[in-house]
Amino acid sequence: MGQRLSPIEMIGRLVGFDTTSRNSNLALIEYVADYLRGHGIAASILLSPDGQKANLHAILGPDRPGGIVLSGHTDVVPVDGQAWDSDPFTVVERNGSLFGRGTADMKSFIAVALALVPEFLAAGALRIPIHFALTYDEEVGCAGVHGLVPKLALPATHPAVCIVGEPTEMRVVNAHKGIRVVITTVRGLDAHSSATHIGVNAIMYAAELIGFLKRIAEELKGRAQPNSRFDPPYTTVSVGTISGGTALNIIARECHFVWEHRIVPGSDEDEVLGRFRDFAEHEVLPRMRRVHPGSEIVIEEMAKVRPLVPLEGSPAESLVLALTRSNQTYAVSYGTEAGIIQSDADVPTVVCGPGSIMQAHKPNEFIALSEVRACEAFMRRLYEYCRA
């Protein structure tokens, strides 16, 4: 006899695993696999290349094409330095909400789907299969989902619809921006700060590169589409961190900064990075090398999250609108795994899950119990659709 937990109890179990992206998620994945196997559902654990993390894939119902994927990431962002009023990895109920890291982003969606498995099994056989797809390292560039895509793309069980349960307050999101994350390292030549003519100040040249990004960002604002559903309605560019130098009186030999741009679907995904590379290699680097031939500008792409391009009237959009009893779709500026699943696994995908993105990544992250109940109702309607 398999475990029977309420959705709230299952949320508590999943939040109790500290799956901060820097940690392994294997304990959570193994728990879910054991839970599903206890209910007679075979679960595949797909290890990361280093064996320290894993995705999970399981099918409830017949092994045939045309199923519906319930997809969610198991990792969470760090709590370091945040002022929490309670243990982030112990769910606490207060004032009609559940507090804990991952309650909103996005373990509650996964927990509700898993907790209702015994109820679904007792209700009768499915005509349409339901896939459970759990991933790792979404919060650090959607790295893990690529290992799951081949499983979803298998012709024998190829799904017709994917629902990524990121927090949308159970609204149907059919479009989101893409994300490119880049680290740029500038290496010059150190010298005494009084001898600026013989040194190459990496910080000064990095500042010039950042200024160029700022100019691109301002230009992109001017391309905003007046009827866009995105907020803001244009591709954005932002520098997140910068470090370099050793002392005030030493010309900095090295500086690196990490930056991102969030791309409106349909835009040229390579434009910003291409222009940046061209400026760095043809405008800035030659001036550095006139002083020190060994100067370098190294530009490395750390992550690439595909945009979710809207497929108006797709099976995913039509089904989830019906299940949420809604007639409106939304676009969001944050990224998810949905664009990768839709493009690489060729599965029409939407984003729809309980909770608010405004609570994600914050201290005292929470999900309202009303959102959990709304997700439960959604899952029950989904099951009836798959059984009918």
Active centre residues (catalytic): 75, 138
- Residue 181: enclosing H or E segment and its boundaries? strand 178-187
Residue 269 near residue 178 (C-beta atoms within 8 A): yes
Euclidean distance between CA atoms 67 and 110, whole angstroms? 17
Q: CA torsion sign, 108 to 110 to 112 to 118?
A: negative
Taking a C-beta distance cutoff of 8 angstroms, is the pair 43, 36 a contact? yes
Output the DSSP codes for 298-326.
EEEEEEEE--B---TT-HHHHHHHHHHT-
How buried is 8 (Cβ within 10 angstroms: 0-12 exposed, 13-18 middle, 19+ buried)? Answer: middle
Unique residue bearing structure tokens 């100040």:
201
Return phi, psi of residue 97, to 5°: -140, 160
What whole-number distance in Å separates Cα of residue 339 and Cα of residue 344?
A: 8
Report the SS3 class of residue 176.
strand
Closest CA to 365 of 75, 110, 87, 10: 87
If one counts every other C-beta atom within 10 angstroms of the C-beta of residue 293, the result is 8
Could you say which DSSP state residue 145 is in?
G
Does an H or E element contain 382, and which?
Answer: helix 369-387
45: its two tokens: 């654990």
**How far from 128 is each of 37, 61, 161, 314, 382, CA to CA, in Å?**
20, 7, 11, 17, 10
